[in-house]
Every structure is written in C-alpha cells, then in structure tokens.
Chain A
Amino acid sequence: MKKFIAILLASVMTAGILGCGDSGANPTKEQPYAGTTLNLYTWTEYIPDSVIEDFEKETGVKVNHSTFSSNEDMLAKIKSEDEGTFDIAQPSDYMVEQMATQGMLEEIDKSKLTNLSNIADNYLNPSYDPDNKYSIPYLGGVEAMAVNTSKITDSVTKYDDLFNPSYANQVVLLDDFRAVIGLTARSLGYSMSTSEEPELDEIKTKLLTLKSNVKLYDSDSPKSALIQGETSIGAMWAAEVALAMEENPDIDVVFPEEGAYLFMDNWVIPKGAKNIDAAMEFINYILDSENMAKILEEFPYMCPNTAAIALMGDEYAANLAKNPPEDVIANGEYIKNLDIDTLKVYDQMWTELKK
C-alpha cells in the first residue's frame, strides 16, 4: 500500500511539473502560435542564436535548432527521419530542385509572407525554383576572384586569367569540384553543369592545365593563404574575399566577366511538417529587414534582402565583396544536380587533377 501511495504521489508530482511547463505559453492574439515547437534545420554557423532567441521571445514559439554541414547530409537525414521531423530546412539552389522533384517539399503560401517585398527581384523566380513555389531565398554567395595587386600587375578580369601560365604555383582555389570544374567550364563559355561529351573533353583538357598553377585547395579558409602571401590570386566565395580585403588592403575583388558561380540557400518546408504556421511566421520574421540586418552583422554573405542592406549603411552597401553588383547576379549561374554518369566524369577529372 505504501508503495502504491508513493507511485501515486510521484505521478501526481510529475504531472504537476509537466503541467507547469505548458502553462504560461498559451496562444494569444499577438502570439497565435505560442506554446508550439518549431523544428529548424539549418547550415552550421549561419544564423545567430540571438536572432532565434528574439524570435522565441516575440512569438512564444519554442525553436529546436539542429544543423548540418552539407546539402547531401541534410537530404540523407530528412529522408531517414520520420516525415514531419523538421518544419524548416535550408537547402541550396540545386538541392531545392532535387527535393522538389522528389516531392519532398510543401508549397509555400507567399500571401502570408508580408515581408517578401524586401527581396530584390533579381533573386526571385530563380532557375532552380520558378516562381518560388517551394523556396524563399535566405543568403548566398558568388565565387569571385581575389587578386593581390602588389604581386600581380596584369589586369585580371575573368576566370580564364587563373589559367595564365605565368601564375605557376600562385593560385588558391576552393577544395570543391563543382567550383573548380565550374569555373573552367565558364571560362570556355559552357554551363557549369554541362553533360555534353565534347564540352566535357574540352573542359578536362583545360582543367588539367591548372595543375601547375594551383598551390593550394582550401575550402575552410582560402583567404589565409592570400593574406599570408603564399598565393597571389585565387577564386573563392566573395565573403572570404571581403575578409581578406580587411586584412590586406592590396587584395582586390574581381567578378569574372564570363559570369560567376552563384549559390543561394533557401528556406523550405519539408513535406509533412507539423507546424507549418509557425514555420511561415519564422520565415517572415527573418525576411524582416531589421532582423536580417542583425544576421548580416555576423554573417556578411550575399543578401537578397535589399531593405536589410539599406540598414547596414553606405560602407556596407558599397563593399562589392559583401554586396555584389546587380549584373553579377543577372549574369551568374546556379549549379544543377548532375546525373549519375555525368557526375562520374566530373569526379574522374577532379581525381586526375588532384592526384
């Protein structure tokens, strides 16, 4: 009997604690989704914790934040978990397309996004998701070139200049086969995702001539080798160039004439998400110019939110590496997912370059 009472007491107390957790977070008119939980799945180091905390305070929604470090990891995770595990994910351009064709995404009701007008037209209706049916752009980047003008006096204007034989052992590139093969393709006037055999042969021949020029492949911090002077020219994300320019005033940013490699990360709602309303609220919250400006202060990537850039001040807006000019976006190219046989060809030429 004693035992029975003890168990009864324990369960009453537990229920009490759980009950307390629920109370104080009931939906109100201002906070219609208070007390609900939003499962957010983003890239690592991409959204400040403070912004998420502010969202929680403002809406009463509890955010469960988990992170990934590659599109493929994210895809595998979403596929392996139960439907509805995540309310928001953050795939890049080509991955939005892949997920959409596999029926993994919910359509987005844009009428609920009152702040969508903050996004510049250039970034809307992208090739990977016409009419933004499934995705809303967050932040992105462009593979720009960085030139140390104290060492290189030629005028550098295009990706093709990286192949100049006089830059032997002076080039730093991203350790990323799509970026390196992509810039080779662009320098020949081809698409970064071409699967045409004669084009691929030409790309391969040209790619292998890079071998004597490239000193270093580094995706983590390509700017370091430039700042330290180990390399004098390279191609990397514009945000890296921006940081390099702050450290070393001799370094200049160049956007390739051939049209640059662009990427854009997007908010999407995976199929079967349990809390779509709060997800929409979150996306709209991030679209707000002030909130986005807070994010930019920490992560100065290429930002489609022009209202947020206006808040960042003239110096920020004038910094081309942080705020690439409009024609770069118009001329740039997003990569596409490769079919299996084409990927094999890319992988083989990449292996041959790096052996």
Chain B
Amino acid sequence: MKKISKHTFRSNTLPAMTTVGPVSLWLLFFVAIPLLYVLVMSFCSLDESYNVVFKFTAENYARLMDPNYIQIYTTSILVAFFTTVLCIIIGYPFSFLIARTKWKHKALLYMMVIIPFWTNSLIRIYGWRTFLGTGGWLNHMLLMLHITSEPVEFLFNKGTTVLGMVYCLFPFMVLPLYTAIEKLDSTLLEASSDLGAKGSVTFRKIILPLTMSGVFSGSIMVFIPCLGYFFVSDILGGGNSDVIGNLIERQFQSGNNWPLGAALSIILILITLLLVKIYQKLGGDMDSLGV
C-alpha cells in the first residue's frame, strides 16, 4: 500500500494566520483604523489654538446643513451626473469598437486609453488649460482658420470642469464597459438577426441588457471620484465652482478645522455607500467594481 502523507495541522490558527493574516492586517491598519479615526475625528472639537480635542460634539454635522454647503453638494452632484452621462455617451461606442473590432491590433486601441494614465493627472489637466486658454492652441487654430475673429474664452466655468472630469475619469468607464461587451456572446446576436430583429431592436433587447452591468459599474466608478476631484474644479473651473472635494480640502488646509473636514468626508463616504447599495439593488456585480 502506498504511503500517503497525512500531515494535518492540529488547529486552523497557523495556516489561517499565515495566509489571510497579512491581508487582514493590511486592511486593519490602512483601511479600518484610518476610517475609524476619521469617524472619531468628526465628533471632536477644537480648542482655542486649533488643536483637535476629544470632546464630543455634533456641531460639525449640524454645520453640514449650511445652505451654502447644500448648494455645493448640488453643484457637485450635477457635475458628477453630467460627467457620467458624457462618459457613457462617448465611452459606450468606443468600448464597443475596441471590444468587437476584427483588427488584429486590438490591444493597441486598448493601450491608447491606458497609456495617458501613466502621466500624472495634474499635469494632464494643466495641459488642457494651456490648450484651451485664450492664447492656447485651440484659439490659435480657430483664429488661423478664420472661424472666429476674437479668441474664445473656453476656460474657467462649469463646462470646462465637466470636460476635465470626463477626461480624467474616461478610462474608468471604458474598462468595465469593455469587459462587459467582450463577454457578450456573438451567437446571441446572430440568433437575434435570424429571428428577424433589426439592429436597433437587437441593441435594445439583447446588447444593452447584457452589457448594463458594465454601464452600472462604469457609472459608479466615474460618479464617485467626480465628487472629490477638487483639483479639476480648481484648475479648469477657476475656483469658481467648488465641489465637495474642495470643501474637504479647505477644512484641512486654510479652514484649519479637521473635525469639520472629517464630517464632510464621512458624508462623502455615506454618499458612496448609498450609491453602491443602489447599484447592488439594481443587480450590479460587486466583482466588476474591482472590490
């Protein structure tokens, strides 16, 4: 009879500790504890010399209801909404193209979305500022082609903020869409056309429902960072249209009120959780969010 090694651990502790342990520790120290710290901080108060002291107060949360803040939340949500819609409108056909192309250099198209991401987003946003400025390339070309007689002022409004957000977050829309469209079984499309469905019907009844998960996860991944990307509204919006991220940044910098900043961050986290919950309710797959 062949001898089989029958080594077993006396308890599960050691194998569990060595395999899951490092990840759990990582999550504990770099996710759970910092988040808890933010939560605790949001209930703290400040003393006379702006030190955070552990004296319980709900005042930070009360201040969140300031009408000015509410208007900024609304602006943020609108900016995020338009950014997401634009990303879907541009991203869907684009992802469809790279997912279904017969061209052998498909990977190249895919890389074209990824490569710009290797450059710091601040630099790319400043690039837009140079490009769109009244002395920038775009105006230079418009003047040269006699399309306009005076330089057009593109910069420093909510429109350019949305443009910058779309540019920054576009890949987050394309990648989940690409995965969803790639998975689409082409025999279903053939069956649909065999049964006499026109292109638009196939799209509405087959393609869209089957790739909806990609649209959902892409939207979540665009919408949420959009609320926090304060540097885009600072650089391209000219600091005239704050988003929630600006409010948070200000409390940690010039406002010098960390507890209020923490409370604002908690609100941002709650909005995020709420959106993810809605996403789950709509049948979204948590795996495709990359979490």
Contact = CB atoms under 8 A, between A and B. Distances in A.
Interface of A: 70, 72, 98, 102, 175-178, 214-218, 227-230, 339-340, 343-344, 347-348, 350-352, 354-355
A216 B256 contact: no
B131 interface: no
B135 A229 contact: yes
Contact of A216 (B46, B135, B239): B239
Contacts of B49: 98, 102
28 contacts: A72-B253, A102-B49, A175-B234, A176-B254, A215-B156, A215-B240, A216-B155, A216-B238, A216-B240, A217-B238, A217-B239, A218-B238, A227-B135, A228-B134, A228-B135, A229-B151, A230-B134, A230-B153, A343-B256, A347-B250, A347-B254, A348-B66, A351-B250, A352-B68, A354-B239, A354-B242, A355-B68, A355-B71
Given A176-B254, A347-B250, A340 B46 contact: yes
A98 B255 CA distance: 16
Contacts of A230: 133-134, 153, 155-156
B202 interface: no
A348 B68 contact: yes
A178 B238 CA distance: 18
Contacts of B72: 351, 355
Nearest to A174: B239
A215 B241 CA distance: 11
A70 B135 contact: no
B110 interface: no
Given A176-B254, A229-B151, 17 more contacts: A72-B253, A102-B49, A216-B156, A216-B239, A218-B238, A228-B134, A230-B134, A230-B156, A339-B48, A343-B255, A347-B255, A348-B66, A350-B250, A351-B69, A354-B240, A354-B246, A355-B75
Interface string B244-274: 0011001001111100000000000000000
Interface string B155-177: 11000000000000000000000
Interface residues of B, number: 32
B254 A178 contact: yes
A162 to B, nearest CB: 16
A351 B68 contact: yes
Contacts of A218: 238-239
Contact of B134 (A229, A347, A348): A229
A215 B250 CA distance: 20
Q: Which 5 A-B pairs have the closest CB atoms?
A: A217-B239, A216-B238, A228-B135, A347-B255, A352-B68
A216 B234 CA distance: 9
Nearest to A79: B51
Contacts of B134: 228-230
Contacts of B234: 175, 217
Interface of B: 46, 48-50, 66, 68-69, 71-72, 75, 133-136, 151, 153, 155-156, 234, 238-242, 246-247, 250, 253-257
Contacts of A343: 255-257
A177 B255 CA distance: 9
Contacts of A352: 68
A230 B133 CA distance: 8
A4 to B, nearest CB: 34
A102 B257 CA distance: 19
Contacts of B46: 340
B69 A72 contact: no
Contacts of A229: 134-135, 151
Contacts of A70: 253
Contact of A351 (B151, B155, B247, B253): B247
Contacts of B240: 214-217, 354
A12 B139 CA distance: 70
A222 to B, nearest CB: 11
Contacts of A354: 239-240, 242, 246
B242 A355 contact: yes
A218 B133 CA distance: 15
Contacts of A215: 156, 238, 240
A177 B46 CA distance: 20
A214 B237 CA distance: 12
Contacts of B155: 216, 230
Contacts of A175: 234, 239
Nearest to A69: B253
Nearest to B51: A79
Contacts of A351: 66, 68-69, 72, 242, 247, 250
Contacts of A177: 254
A228 to B, nearest CB: 4
Contacts of B256: 72, 343
Contacts of B239: 175, 216-218, 354
Contacts of B135: 227-229
A98 B66 CA distance: 30
A348 B238 CA distance: 19
Nearest to A338: B256
Contacts of B250: 347, 350-351
A347 B257 contact: yes
B133 A228 contact: yes
A16 B253 CA distance: 48
A228 B241 CA distance: 22
A340 B48 contact: yes
B134 to A, nearest CB: 5
A152 B230 CA distance: 32
A344 B253 CA distance: 14
Contacts of A340: 46, 48, 50
Contacts of B75: 355
Contacts of A350: 250
Nearest to B63: A344
Which of A177, A214, A218, A355 has most chain B Cβ within 10 Å? A355
Contacts of B253: 70, 72
A72 B135 CA distance: 36
